[in-house]
């Protein structure tokens, strides 16, 4: 009996882990550019660059990250990420640069998705 329970428990794990934290998404996807400054991406923890971005606010930053802006690819080039995961990564980076943003609500996510779709049609 026991091995079966263990097996079931390990199968269930990925479902719980489906939505990654901001730190995990950052490490896995965003750090490629934001840890190196590749393409002049705003460097993680660079207060000077992020202060300005933090003042623009999440209503600007998250749609930009979802839809892409100039050399910044949509969702950081990783379409497997959910909108929530991308938003969390933005918040993780923004808070490391002086922001004080909290976990987004589903209303936030819906608004950001709408904005991103509108921007990409331009």
Q: Quick one: 6 or 45, whose CB is closer to ligand HEC?
A: 45
Q: What is the 3-state secondary structure (H, E, C) of 15-59?
A: HHCCCCCHHHHHHHHHHHHHCCCHHHCCCCCCHHHHHHHHHHCHH
Asked if 60 is part of the footprint of ligand HEC (rule: CB under 6 A), the reply reads yes
Compute how many residues bind ligand HEC; rule: CB under 6 A.
Answer: 28
Asked if 25 is part of the footprint of ligand HEC (rule: CB under 6 A), the reply reads yes
Pattern 65-104, ligand HEC, x by CB under 6 A = x---xxxxx-xxx---x----x--xx--------------
Spell out a b/e string for 69-93, using b for 16 or more CB atoms within 10 Å of the CB, else e. eeebbbbbebeebebbbbbbbbbbb
Contact footprint for ligand HEC (CB under 6 A): 25, 29-30, 32-34, 38-42, 53, 60-61, 64-65, 69-73, 75-77, 81, 86, 89-90
């Amino acid at each position: 009996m026991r091995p079966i329970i263990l097996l079931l428990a390990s199968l269930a794990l990925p479902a719980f882990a489906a939505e990654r934290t901001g730190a995990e998404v950052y490490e896995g996807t965003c750090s490629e550019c934001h840890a190196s400054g590749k393409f002049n991406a705003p460097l993680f923890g660079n207060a000077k660059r992020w202060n300005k971005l933090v003042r623009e606010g999440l209503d600007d930053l998250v749609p930009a990250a979802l839809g892409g802006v100039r050399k910044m690819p949509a969702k950081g080039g990783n379409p497997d990420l959910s909108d929530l995961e991308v938003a969390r990564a933005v918040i993780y980076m923004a808070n490391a640069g002086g922001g004080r943003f909290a976990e987004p609500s589903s209303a936030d996510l819906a608004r950001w998705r709408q904005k991103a779709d509108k921007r990409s049609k331009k």
